């Protein structure tokens, strides 16, 4: 009783202090005592002891150690200290953190009575610092952020823990006590309505595009929700976009197959020094919140996770929410122009190249970071200078006027920025290729058109977040209705009518949107087609071979996009190949691999046709 009274008195004092000092200091107190005293925790400890034939005391001591290892331990003093440090760091490299306070206020006004889960895209180590700065600036409770154990080095680990980071081991599949303790900690945070943050992708994107989600943490949250710790849990998609990121060189090196540099004090000092360059601004946008109550229904009090398909659906909605909220940056469009044209351009030529894209963005009311003034050569030139300063774009003044271009060894950097917004142009890219396929029919090409739409969707299912087939077909229909109201008549007539439709839409995008992915897939398909069906070469060896073959193809001009030689793209190509071949073996496996290679080459030939039409 005395312990209970002491604990409750401490918590009451903490609430009163928070009202005086501000809600940014809403931090958990007596975490260990509250978690360990829960009846569900005590029952779980007894069950693990029984299953593993250990004593209850042994299991409890280990769980207590794990809780101390995992849990964040906020310090108001460190929160203030780090807030100043964040401002110092970001202003060294960035002009501003641009966000809309009304968006954040709306999230808390509508859902503040429920635990909030902030789920940002992961582009940079600055992501968490950026969101923490915004919450601190608006007197909101700082998030409890799941962090990798790789960041738990001195002195960063201690600072992060005292501002809300809780550290999770990379691997704990067979450690039931650790998993149980982590679940109980998450349940405690949700029950006390402390906001949580993690990156569903599991790591920073090396390609610029949103990565496929991992489901572990979301599953743990759903389990806690089904314990009945909260009436609802709100998932908040967050897009954090950058004019430029300071880690771009590291990302591209890793995507080319080089080893990741280990985080350390030396790595930290190098990062701080790199912030002396100019990187533009950071932009934060909040997507439409997603209610777990609406997605999976009321908690069933089982403490069990809902079916996997429900977890995947929620993760999919979050990913789509992030993509939809992601603003188009001027940097992404300039990278698009230089990569899409394939050659050097003057400022005026870039302005002209982007004109139909600006119209398309305006027509679809796509989100942008700022008002896009890229129809003004002076604005384009200012953006180009920032990119040349950071060695993403090259400039030569040796001719009649300056021209800008991208060296082959810098293509991955430029592609990173282009890929941040590539999802906005996916629908027209697929529609263009499907229309070209329909042109192969002398008569009605409608059936062939839709077959091709779904075939390309299947080819790219490990790259992009596609809705159901029915919904996707409707999206393609809406896209073409907007751009070419008579498109259905052209497709139904087939032949030249469909071909004319496919090559007169403006802007044509399939060549720059899809070529890098399909060229990478073609490389992996060729590697696999060359393997003996009995060869049990592991994935790492296949990727290594693909890197070598890709470089050969590039030297032979069989690859037009240098950024196709990409570890992340090769990994997804391998997933597709495994999905297509399944448990096949022997001649059947050989035939399936050859069929995949042929299918990819067929699509690439149509991409070539679009590329030719794009310059006519």
pLDDT digits (tens, 9 = 90+) for 143-164: 999 998 777 877 888 899 999 9
Sign of the dihedral through C-alpha 150, 156, 160, 161: positive
Q: For domain 330-420, is the CATH number 1.10.10.10?
A: yes
pLDDT score for 503: 86
The 10s digit of each residue's pLDDT in 452-498 is 999 999 999 999 999 999 999 999 999 999 999 999 999 999 999 99
* Domain range annotation of the chain: 72-325, 330-420, 424-507, 511-615
The pLDDT, as a whole number, for residue 2 is: 56
CATH 3.40.1130.10 fits 72-325, yes or no: yes
Q: How far apart are CA 420 and CA 408, in angstroms?
A: 20
Residue 135 has pLDDT above 70, yes or no: yes
pLDDT band at 16, cuts 50/70/90? low
| Among the ranges given (6-10, 123-127, 512-516, 605-609), the one the predictor scored with the smallest mean pLDDT | 6-10
The set of residues, in sequence order, having a beta carbon less than 8 Å from that of 119 and lying 6+ positions away, is 197, 198, 199, 200, 235, 236, 237, 238, 318, 322
The pTM for the full model equals 0.93
Q: How far apart are CA 99 and CA 285, in angstroms?
A: 6
End-to-end CA, the chain: 83
Q: How many CB atoms lie within 10 A of CB 35?
A: 22
Question: By C-alpha distance, which of 383, 204, 363, 231 is closest to 294?
Answer: 231
The pLDDT of residue 610 is 95
Q: Percent of the chain at pLDDT above 90?
A: 82
Tell me, yes or no, if the two domains 72-325 and 330-420 fold the same way.
no
- Sorted by sequence, the CB contacts under 8 Å of residue 279 that are 6+ apart come out as 93, 94, 242, 243, 244, 245, 246, 386, 390
pLDDT of residue 4: 56
10, pLDDT greater than 70: no
**Residue-wise pLDDT tens digits, 223-262:** 999 999 999 999 999 999 999 999 999 999 999 999 888 8
Using a pLDDT cut of 70, give the percent of the chain over it.
97
Q: Between vectors from CA 60 to CA 55 and to CA 66, what angle results, nearest 5°?
A: 135
What does the block give as tokens for 197? 């943050």
Distances (CA, A) of 419 to 205, 334, 428, 512, 575: 10, 12, 16, 10, 20
Q: What is the pLDDT of residue 372?
A: 75
pLDDT of 157 reads 86
The pLDDT mean for the chain works out to 93
- pLDDT greater than 90 at residue 138: yes
pLDDT, mean of residues 288-307: 96
Residue 101: per-residue pLDDT: 95
């Amino acid at each position: 009783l005395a312990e209970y009274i002491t604990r409750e008195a401490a918590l009451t004092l903490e609430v009163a202090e928070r009202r005086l000092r501000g809600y940014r200091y809403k931090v958990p107190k007596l975490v260990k005592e509250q978690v360990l005293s829960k009846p569900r925790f005590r029952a779980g400890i007894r069950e693990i002891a029984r299953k593993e034939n250990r004593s209850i005391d042994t299991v409890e001591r280990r769980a207590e150690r794990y809780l101390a290892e995992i849990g964040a331990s906020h310090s108001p003093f460190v929160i203030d200290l780090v807030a100043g440090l964040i401002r110092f760091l970001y202003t060294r490299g960035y002009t501003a953190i641009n966000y809309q306070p009304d968006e954040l206020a709306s999230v808390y006004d509508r859902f503040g009575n429920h635990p909030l889960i902030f789920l940002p895209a992961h582009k940079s180590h600055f992501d968490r610092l950026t969101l923490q700065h915004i919450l601190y600036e608006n007197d909101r409770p700082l998030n409890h952020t799941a962090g990798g154990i790789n960041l738990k080095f001195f002195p960063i680990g201690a600072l992060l823990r005292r501002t809300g980071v809780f550290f999770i081991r990379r691997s704990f599949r067979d450690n039931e006590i650790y998993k149980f303790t982590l679940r109980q900690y998450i349940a405690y945070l949700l029950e006390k309505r402390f906001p949580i943050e993690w990156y569903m992708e599991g790591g920073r994107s090396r390609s610029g595009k949103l990565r496929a989600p991992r489901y572990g943490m979301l599953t743990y949250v759903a389990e806690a929700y089904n314990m009945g710790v909260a009436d609802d849990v709100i998932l908040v998609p967050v897009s954090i976009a950058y004019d430029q990121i300071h880690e771009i060189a590291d990302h591209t090196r890793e995507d080319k197959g080089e080893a990741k540099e280990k985080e350390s004090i030396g790595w930290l000092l190098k990062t701080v020094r790199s912030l002396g360059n100019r990187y533009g601004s950071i932009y934060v946008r909040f997507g439409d919140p997603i209610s777990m109550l609406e997605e999976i229904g009321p908690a069933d009090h089982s403490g069990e996770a809902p079916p996997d398909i429900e977890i995947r659906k929620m993760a999919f909605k979050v990913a789509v929410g992030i993509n939809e909220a992601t603003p188009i940056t001027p940097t992404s469009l300039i990278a698009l122009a230089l990569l899409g044209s394939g050659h050097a351009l003057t400022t005026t030529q870039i302005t002209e190249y982007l004109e139909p894209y600006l119209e398309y963005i305006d027509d679809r009311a796509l989100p942008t970071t700022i008002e896009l003034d890229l129809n003004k050569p002076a604005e384009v030139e200012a953006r180009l200078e920032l990119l040349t300063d950071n060695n993403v774009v090259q400039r030569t003044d040796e001719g009649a006027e300056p021209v800008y271009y991208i060296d082959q060894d810098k293509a991955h950097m430029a592609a990173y920025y282009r890929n941040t917004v590539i999802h906005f142009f996916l629908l027209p890219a697929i529609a263009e290729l499907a229309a070209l396929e329909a042109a192969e029919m002398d008569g009605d090409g409608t059936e062939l058109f839709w077959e091709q739409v779904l075939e390309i969707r299947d080819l790219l299912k490990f790259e992009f977040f596609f809705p159901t087939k029915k919904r996707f077909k409707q999206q393609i229909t809406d896209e073409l209705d907007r751009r070419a109201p008579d498109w259905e008549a052209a497709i139904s007539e087939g032949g030249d009518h469909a071909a004319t439709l496919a090559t007169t839409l403006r802007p044509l995008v399939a060549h720059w949107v899809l070529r890098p992915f399909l060229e990478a897939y073609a490389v992996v398909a060729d590697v696999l087609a060359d393997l003996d069906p009995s060869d049990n070469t592991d994935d790492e060896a296949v990727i290594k071979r693909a890197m070598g073959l890709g470089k050969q193809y590039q030297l032979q001009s069989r690859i037009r996009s240098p950024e196709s030689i990409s570890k992340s793209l090769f990994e997804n190509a391998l997933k597709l190949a495994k999905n297509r071949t399944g448990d096949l073996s022997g001649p059947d496996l050989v035939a399936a691999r050859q069929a995949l290679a042929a299918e990819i080459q067929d699509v690439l030939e149509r991409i070539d046709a679009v590329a030719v039409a794009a310059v006519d």
